[in-house]
Amino acid sequence: MKKPKNKKKNMHVKVGDTIKIITGKDKGKIGKVLQTFSKKSFVIIDGINIKTKHQKSRQEGEKGSIVKKEAPIHSSNLMLYSEKDEIISRVGHKKDRSGSKIRYLMKNKEIIN
């Protein structure tokens, strides 16, 4: 039997979107998407889900350090956020007059650039 390949998944968030966390320890926090990992549907958000990592010294005489870094969050745990109306919403898709695809928030019809 063949193993299924990790296919690229379509996610409802893209780099630069403003989102709000809806579940987990960071519930209620708002941030911008820095990076997306579409094969596993994970995203990295600026200033959210901070993890600490203890690093050993690499060279003799150098001190070890503690580094704080953003960890990925699954895309199902967040929703798009409208800063103008301060609401969260699902995303919708439609085509404009020129035929290009547009994303918009379903609750207030705000277009996402």
What are residue 65's phi and psi, to 5 degrees? -145, 165
Which pLDDT does position 70 carry in this prediction? 95
* Model pTM score: 0.81
d(CA 35, CA 71): 11
DSSP 8-state assignment for residue 59: S
Q: Is the pLDDT of residue 2 over 80?
A: no
Fold (topology level) of 18-88: SH3 type barrels. (2.30.30)
Q: Is the pLDDT of residue 37 over 90?
A: yes
- Domain extents in the chain: 18-88
Which pLDDT does position 113 carry in this prediction? 77
